[in-house]
Amino acid sequence: MSNKFDVIVVGAGPAGYVAAIRCAQLGFNTACVDDWQDKEGKPSLGGTCLNVGCIPSKALLDSSEKVEQANHEFASHGISTGKISVDIEKMIARKDDIVSNLTKGIGGLFKANKITSLHGRGKLIANKQIEVTNDKGTEVYSADNIILAVGSEPIAIPVAEVDNNLIVDNAGALDINAVPKKLGVIGAGVIGLELGSVWNRLGSQVTILEAIDTFLPTVDKQLAREAQRTFTKTQGLDIKLGARVTGSKTSKKSVKVSYADKDGDHTESFDKLIVAVGRRPKTNDIADPALGLKLDERGRIDVDDSCRTSIDGVWAVGDAVKGPMLAHKGSEEGVAVAEMIAGQHAHINHDTVPWVIYTHPEIAWVGITEEQAKEQGINYKTGFFPFAANGRSLAMNEKGGRVKMIADADTDRILGVHILGPSASELISEAVLAMEYSASTEDIARTIHGHPTLSEAMHEAALSVDGRALHKVN
Ligand code: NAD
């Protein structure tokens, strides 16, 4: 095998592996370097998303939601089960199977696309070369173009150091083998809420300690307020806002956490503690310092709007560069870079990246919030539709949440769509497509939506912007 490629991608997460596939499709001789190993020490493609992120968490969210339904909802359908029991080890094994299938699937895609998979840690050295180090030693490869897709890692905090026993990060939280009676979570962000929900549904008493005093500050205020009420009042998550963790002490079976809020200092003991206080780019030692690869003030690889780094022929995509740390944003950048290397006109529309939080109900949004519209002095109008007035939603026993639309008051162009409700993660795609086409709310209002579907709530929200929703009083 020659050590010379057209393109070498470093990192096989959703940004890197997708970039590699697109490069191969475009006819480039492509290699992808990745050092991830599974629990048994075997190479595993797919990065954080497939191994310890999006996919395994969704597997557990789905399993735990079924438990929740059996415990609390089946009865209203006239179904009685008696006391249900849960085999956590089996649940975790199902999750591992899904991960294994998908990560192997990427291996299959690499093979089918004739991509060379190189296992080891990649480091950029002079003349667009990549040094790949694994337990067999170090080998040097070169390419005309390099794509750095090195991802991110959990932020560690000295007040609660992960010991992978009592104190775990997102990866450890997916492998807890018995339901902790009392579970503490630091951080009420995306990971804290999703994993907190999983263990809450499985029977843990969950307390989430969040340093800032606003709940989900990036979510539309109205929706965040309703979500907070549902998670705390209906589901029983104890979310303490304005609670800054000041220390932790582990004993044999529990961890005592101290935190401070407006009422003073407190301590609370937990059987497990999940630290989910954000992620940072994994850019440590990815390039020979002599090359001067520029990083920004947050340690991310500095790129222009086309993902070009400060070094000619070296590109960077995904969590390691500016923008939200979302798998689909990284994949989109990966595709765009491959096409730009091929001399095509690719573009990345960062204004239409959807966000999803997989709680129940789900929260999804695209574009700006009402608060941002106000801050930016935009003359805007809004419309909304509650799922409580949607037939399909009621048939599913889903009575909470709403679709909210924000549009320019002069042009009617959609500026933002915010959904709290069932299948929000799927429904948001219509809004993304509409915004991608610069659609107006009138465009959605004139689009026929199937009946009975949840998507009718999108239709009605668009109608409501113009004061003509049909199934609610405007
Ligand atoms: P996050 O930034 O969403 O939330 C971290 C939270 O921790 C913040 O609210 C922050 O105020 C709080 N915090 C920080 N330090 C604290 C302290 N000392 N004490 C108490 N609270 C503290 O980060 P995350 O939830 O860890 O997720 C990391 C990244 O992964 C995010 O960028 C997210 O976009 C991505 N992610 C996305 C999804 C999804 O798309 N559904 C799922 C999981 C993760």
Tell which atom from ligand 1 comes closest to the C-alpha of 154. Answer: 26
Q: Residue 396 maps to which CATH number?
A: 3.30.390.30
Please indicate whether residue 357, judged by its CB atom, sits closer than 6 Å to ligand 1: yes
| Catalytic hit among 72, 347, 350, 451 | 451
Query: Tokens standing for 189?
Result: 């962000």
Based on the domain organization, do 19 and 119 belong to the same domain?
Answer: yes
Centre of ligand 1 from the C-alpha of residue 364, in Å: 16
Other beta carbons within 10 Å of 86: 17
Considering only CA atoms, which residue is closest to atom 41 of ligand 1?
Answer: 357
Ligand 1 center from residue 210 Cα (angstroms): 10
Asked whether residue 40 falls in the same domain as residue 141, the answer is yes
Q: Measured in angstroms, how far is the CA atom of residue 389 from the centroid of ligand 1?
A: 33
Q: How far is the CA of 446 from the centre of ligand 1 (A)?
A: 38
Does the residue 81 lie in any domain? yes
Same-domain check for residues 412 and 326 = no
Cα–Cα dist 194/175, whole Å: 14
| Predicted TM-score (pTM) of this structure | 0.96
414 three-state secondary structure = strand
Question: Is 451 in the active site?
Answer: yes
Long-range contacts (CB closer than 8 Å, 24 or more residues apart) made by 468-471: 469/383, 469/385, 471/385, 471/389, 471/390
Q: Is 86 in the pocket of ligand 1 (CB under 6 A)?
A: no
Claim to verify: residue 173 and residue 46 sit in the same structural domain: no
Token couple for 358: 């997989």
Considering the domain architecture, whether residues 126 and 191 belong to the same structural domain is answered as: no
Ligand 1 contact, 167 CB (< 6 A): no
- ∠ CA 152-155-156, rounded to 5°: 140
Instruction: Check whether residue 268 and residue 295 sit in a common domain.
Output: no
Same domain, 303 and 434: no
Whether 195 lines ligand 1, by a CB cut-off of 6 Å, is no
Do residues 18 and 148 both lie within one domain? yes
> Looking at the domain assignment, is residue 413 inside a domain?
yes
Query: What range does the domain containing 368 cover?
Result: 361-465
One domain, residues 225 and 305: no
Residue 160 lies in a domain: no
Same domain, 380 and 324: no
Last residue of a domain, one of 299, 318, 351: 351
The token pair that represents 6 in the structure block: 């057209």
Same domain, 183 and 246: yes
Ligand 1 touching residue 109 (CB < 6 A): no
For residue 193, how far is its CA from the centre of ligand 1 (angstroms)? 9
CATH of the domain at 141: 3.50.50.60
| CA–CA dist 56, 63 (Å, integer) | 11
**Which of 332, 351, 370 is the C-terminal boundary of a domain?**
351
Residue after which a domain boundary falls, among 235, 261, 277: 277
Same domain? For 420 and 380 the reply is yes
Total number of domains in the chain: 3
Residue 356 lies in a domain: no
Among 62, 191, 275, the mutation site with the greatest number of ligand 1 atoms within 8 A of its Cβ is: 191
Whether residue 471 lies inside any domain: the answer is: no
- Beta strand 362-367 with 380-386: parallel, antiparallel or unpaired? unpaired
Q: Which atom of ligand 1 is nearest to the CA of 159?
A: 18
Residues 6+ apart with CB under 8 A from 49: 13, 14, 55, 327
Could you tell me if the CB of 277 is within 6 A of ligand 1?
A: yes
Strands 4-10 and 30-34: parallel
Indicate whether residue 356 lines ligand 1 (CB < 6 A). Answer: yes
In a domain, 291, yes or no: yes
Measured in angstroms, how far is the CA atom of residue 216 from the centroid of ligand 1? 10
Would you give per-residue pLDDT tens digits along the chain (474 residues)? Answer: 789 999 999 999 999 999 999 999 999 999 999 999 999 999 999 999 999 999 999 999 999 999 999 999 999 999 999 999 999 999 999 999 999 999 999 999 999 999 999 999 999 999 999 999 999 999 999 999 999 999 999 999 999 999 999 999 999 999 999 999 999 999 999 999 999 999 999 999 999 999 999 999 999 999 999 999 999 999 999 999 999 999 999 999 999 999 999 999 999 999 999 999 999 999 999 999 999 999 999 999 999 999 999 999 999 999 999 999 999 999 999 999 999 999 999 988 999 999 999 999 999 999 999 999 999 999 999 999 999 999 999 999 999 999 999 999 999 999 999 999 999 999 999 999 999 999 999 999 999 999 999 999 999 999 999 999 999 998
- 458 in a domain, yes or no? yes
Substitution candidate for ligand 1 out of 241, 277, 363 with most atoms within 8 A of CB: 277
Q: Is 190 in the pocket of ligand 1 (CB under 6 A)?
A: yes
Does 472 reside within a domain? no
Helix axes 88-112, 14-25, angle to 10 degrees: 30
